[in-house]
Amino acid sequence: MKYSQMFNTLLGCKNEDEVFEYLVGHLKETIKSWDYFVNWSKVIKNYHNVEISLNLLNTLIGKPDIEKAAEHLLTEYPNVIKIVPALLACRDKNICLLTDFGNFDLTRFDFSKPMSPGAGARFMKESGFLDLISDRTIKSIPDYFIGVEVGLDSNGRKNRSGTSMETLAEFFIKDICQRNGYEYIAQATADKIYKKWGKKITVNKSSKRIDFAINTPHKLYLIETNFYGGGGSKLKSTAGEYADIYHQWTNDGHQFIWITDGFGWLTTKRPLRDTFNTTDYILNIDMIQKGVLESLLK
């Protein structure tokens, strides 16, 4: 850690050890905001894309000979079959199933195109979906579909936590840059940085995206952000990865700043301390709020 008087002025830390203790002592429990739960725009978009097919399937609810009715519907409207996997919370379009244990028979269902009405009706019957609409357990297929999409979207919450940290960091970075006349690029690549500012950076992959690149009159700052609500082995490897990135970009003549936060670090302090000892700056959200990032950029 590169210690300066700034840490004493802004945080009351008199040495590197106190800065590290401040870092781990002021971690945030969460950065979840209202948009963490469901990406409603994505859910509603997916719904509108298949709304007609959903309403056609809705006509099957309560039919006595449900499989025959389904076969008739698919004969009249063969494209309806394409939405069936989504009704079973499945994004796959090409599904291969073991349909006979004794002979180990496999049957393939390709939902990317219309299939025979009999095969489509069989799939809906054997998967249990037709029984749910026959006895009216499902009373509205469009409403049911929205519920399934909400469930599938919950898989994206981990990614939303990552983007939430970027969004939070950009809130501060944008303000700092506007007040000081700096330029920055979010999701920067080596190519974008060179085209905009004529500065070269070393990356292992040309597709490598850097959360933020900030160009000041005296130096290019490269910033990576993340948040860990829970512990795990990934934190140790992440700490080591950023130590390597630091040396790489320092050799290029640029400044690397790692912004990280979350209670996950409380159970993985040692790797964080090792990286803290071998890099210049690791900050958390509280430090940014106290003005440390702005002082560094100046």
pLDDT digits (tens, 9 = 90+) for 181-204: 999 999 999 999 999 999 999 888
Mean pLDDT of all residues in 64-86: 95
**Cα–Cα distance measured from residue 284 to residue 261, given in angstroms and rounded to the nearest whole number:** 5
Place of tokens 């950065």: 31
- The one-character DSSP state at 123 is H
**What are the distances in angstroms from CA 237 to CA 242, 253, 286, 292?**
9, 25, 24, 26
**Average pLDDT of the chain to the nearest whole number:** 92
Over residues 234-272, the pLDDT tens digits come to: 788 888 888 889 999 999 999 999 999 999 999 989 999
Phi first, then psi: give them for residue 54, nearest 5 degrees: -65, -40
pLDDT at 179 over 70: yes
Over residues 104-125, the pLDDT tens digits come to: 888 999 999 889 999 999 999 9
Mean pLDDT of all residues in 81-87: 95
pLDDT for 154 equals 80
Mean pLDDT of all residues in 214-241: 89
**Cα–Cα distance measured from residue 52 to residue 80, given in angstroms and rounded to the nearest whole number:** 9
**What are the distances in angstroms from CA 297 to CA 6, 209, 213, 226?**
12, 21, 11, 20
pTM confidence score: 0.75
pLDDT for 234 equals 78
Mean pLDDT of all residues in 4-24: 96
- Structure token pair of residue 286: 């509280």
pLDDT for 162 equals 62
- Structure token pair of residue 123: 């799939």
**What are the distances in angstroms from CA 12 to CA 22, 82, 94, 136, 164?**
9, 62, 60, 66, 29
pLDDT for 75 equals 96
For the chain, the distance separating the N- and C-terminal CA atoms, rounded to the nearest angstrom, is: 18
Where does the pLDDT of residue 81 fall: very low under 50, low under 70, confident under 90, or very high at 90 and above? very high
Residue 13: Cβ within 10 Å count: 19
Q: Does residue 4 contact residue 284 with C-beta atoms inside 8 Å? A: no
- Structure token pair of residue 237: 């490897």
Q: Is 88 left (phi over 0), alpha (psi -120 to 50) or beta?
A: alpha
What is the maximum alpha-carbon separation in the chain?
80
Q: Which domains does the chain have, with CATH numbers?
A: 5-30+182-297 (3.40.1350), 40-155 (no CATH)
Where does the pLDDT of residue 206 fall: very low under 50, low under 70, confident under 90, or very high at 90 and above? low
**Cα–Cα distance measured from residue 140 to residue 61, given in angstroms and rounded to the nearest whole number:** 8
- The one-character DSSP state at 12 is -
Four-residue CA torsion sign, 64, 69, 71, 73: negative
**Cα–Cα distance measured from residue 63 to residue 56, given in angstroms and rounded to the nearest whole number:** 13
pLDDT for 35 equals 79
> Which residue has better confidence, 223 or 159?
223
* Core vs surface per residue 181-190: b (16+ CB within 10 A) or e: ebebbbebbb
Place of tokens 């934190």: 235
pLDDT at 1 over 90: no
- Structure token pair of residue 200: 């070269």
Over residues 154-178, the pLDDT tens digits come to: 877 766 666 788 999 999 999 999 9
Phi first, then psi: give them for residue 72, nearest 5 degrees: -65, -40
Where does the pLDDT of residue 34 fall: very low under 50, low under 70, confident under 90, or very high at 90 and above? confident
